[in-house]
Amino acid sequence: MDRLILWDVDGTLLSTDGIAAEAMRAAMREVVGPAAPLARTAYAGKTDWQIIRESLPTLPPEEIGERLHEFAAAYLGRLEGQREALVARSRVFPGVTAALEALGGAARQAPLTGNIAVVARIKLECVGLLPLLDLAAGAYGDDHHHRPELVPIAAARAARRYGQSFGGRQVIVVGDTPHDIDCGRANGARTVAVATGPYSLDELLAHGPDVALPDLSDTGAVVAAVLG
């Protein structure tokens, strides 16, 4: 297994039906108080750290970095408090489980997501995907605010975990936004885009992924796209 597949979570593997976004906004408000201006920003493809920076433009970036653990704790607390709703309303996209199972015999698989690590875990756990991904080999939105920096972080973790290096085209980034494509390409990785999020297939193709798929429902096509 000399390849490392790095999967985006929201919009690629699953949807939480807006529960997580609402919980994140509530957590930001809880930490900074009711008076701080909270700007609206698009979430898709961004790290949670970046989203918090954009949502709280009056706070210095270094303060946000220092207080990220407070946001993480408040955010996780909100999601834990809504676990039953998260289980009931979250959904795995068609073909995801079959694709992960099919690729599991050929490559290492881990998340590469803008989610804070503890949030990625609860989302994956609530839809039953946790056993199919190695979370210890992944990278998350509290590792760095800039998504392209997550690829080398994940590769280094996977290298330590498995005793082998992963670089260049041995790494495959799968995601549903241009940010995922750009993140993989910036690190020389193979990029597979999937149009199950807010971007159409044509919009994703315009950013030059190695392969773009309408969804993950055709397991054979997914395996061929990912493994090249």
Quick one: three-class SS letters along 154-203? Answer: HHHHHHHHHCCCCCHHHEEEEECCHHHHHHHHHCCCEEEEECCCCCCHHH
The domain locations on the chain are: 4-16+91-227, 19-86
In which residue are the tokens 């290492």 written?
108
Q: What are phi and psi of 92, to 5 degrees?
A: -90, 135
> Tens digit of pLDDT for each residue in 30-55?
887 777 767 777 778 788 888 888 88
Asked whether the predicted pLDDT for residue 66 surpasses 90, the reply is: no
Report, as an integer, the average pLDDT of 138-144. Answer: 94
- Residues near 10 by beta carbon (within 8 Å), at least 6 away in sequence: 16, 20, 44, 113, 114, 115, 123, 197
CATH of segment(s) 4-16+91-227: 3.40.50.1000
- CA pair distance 200, 84, nearest whole angstrom: 31
> Tens digit of pLDDT for each residue in 86-115?
999 999 999 999 999 999 999 999 999 999
Structure tokens of 75? Answer: 């955010």
- CA pair distance 91, 147, nearest whole angstrom: 25
Contact 134, 108 (CB under 8 A): yes
- CA pair distance 172, 158, nearest whole angstrom: 13
- CA pair distance 9, 27, nearest whole angstrom: 20
Most confident of 20-34, 65-79, 209-223: 209-223
Asked whether the predicted pLDDT for residue 67 surpasses 90, the reply is: no
Contact 129, 91 (CB under 8 A): no
> Tens digit of pLDDT for each residue in 170-213?
999 999 999 999 999 999 999 999 999 999 999 999 999 999 99
